[in-house]
Amino acid sequence: MPAHSAYLTLPQTRRHLTPLSAEIIAIGSAVGWAGDSILVRFGLRQSNIFAAMLVSYTVSITCMWSYLITTTSLDFLRSPAMIYYLISGSMQPLFARALFYEGITRIGVARAGPLRGSEPLFATAIAITIFHEQPGWWVFLGTVLIVGSLWVISGRQQGDTKWRLVDALLPISAGLISAVSQSLRKQGLKIIPDPFVAVAVVTTVSLILLLLFAFTTKRTAQFFLPGRSLVFFVGAASLATLAQVANFIALGRGQLSVIIPLLNTTPLFTVFFSAIFLRKIETVNLRIILGAVLMVAGVLFITVR
């Protein structure tokens, strides 16, 4: 079947789906990203973010391109949507994930996860200034709650592992980059509403840039993987691939100002999983839990606007 025919049937299929379908998929994506963070945290005990990203991209690319080559014509490579995906892939997942993983290394997944959830704040600003959306007071109230949660989570408590306040900017920057990248992806999906194409292209771009950086800076030694870390990274990569596909499906079906906040309920699941699985690695204190609750409350206010 020609590529364009496959793409034309996708919007018709979507017309039979309720808006709730996109919202459920977005929350499922959030759960997947939270699971990815937990597994990466385990793997980072004996490895580093370069190895984590290499495994993540390799697994994703292998799955996506294998599926596309066997089921779809590659005519989509000539589509104008590639411009949006190429730019988006240069930003996310490479830089966004690198900043987030480094944030996990420095301040822990329980704190980095909620700070990474600042993305709705930036997404709302983009929706207003670029896409001329007109959110109501619920959105602004949600934004205030998100900003408050950043202050709560960033604060220190007695007994916390030593870290610098500037380290909190790493996951926050990941949120900003992700918001810009998601906006570009939304535009690409309007042209080619195929999440598998989107995931394959953006992840391939990120892998190429990662390899170029590693070779030009002579950091290829950091790709070395202890066996135990490989197991965790492959598990994380599998979850990340599923989460990214769900991300694109939800983004293509729903409104940016609704889907982005739901995708960023990840902090709630991250803190929950951290309390269960990372008790021996890092502490989930009351301040982190309160910050996560405030952030999710802000996300929900934005969603029900």
Which tens digit of pLDDT belongs to each residue from 61-73? 999 999 999 998 8
What pLDDT shows up at residue 303?
A: 64
Judged against a pLDDT cut of 70, whether residue 16 lies above it is answered with: no
Top-confidence residue, 98 or 176: 176
In this prediction, residues 159-168 reach a mean pLDDT of 68
* Mean of per-residue pLDDT scores for the chain: 81
What pLDDT shows up at residue 230?
A: 94
Which tens digit of pLDDT belongs to each residue from 184-199? 988 899 899 888 999 9
What pLDDT shows up at residue 98?
A: 82
Instruction: Give the confidence band of 83 by pLDDT, cuts at 50, 70, 90.
Output: very high
Judged against a pLDDT cut of 70, whether residue 60 lies above it is answered with: yes
Which tens digit of pLDDT belongs to each residue from 255-284? 777 787 778 778 778 878 888 888 776 667
Instruction: Identify the burial level of 280 via C-beta atoms within 10 angstroms of its C-beta, where 0-12 means exposed, 13-18 middle and 19 or more buried.
Output: exposed
Give the separation between CA 192 and CA 10, rounded to whole angstroms: 9
Instruction: Give the confidence band of 232 by pLDDT, cuts at 50, 70, 90.
Output: very high
Which tens digit of pLDDT belongs to each residue from 198-216? 999 999 998 999 899 889 9
Instruction: Give the confidence band of 8 by pLDDT, cuts at 50, 70, 90.
Output: very low
Instruction: Give the confidence band of 160 by pLDDT, cuts at 50, 70, 90.
Output: low
What pLDDT shows up at residue 43?
A: 92
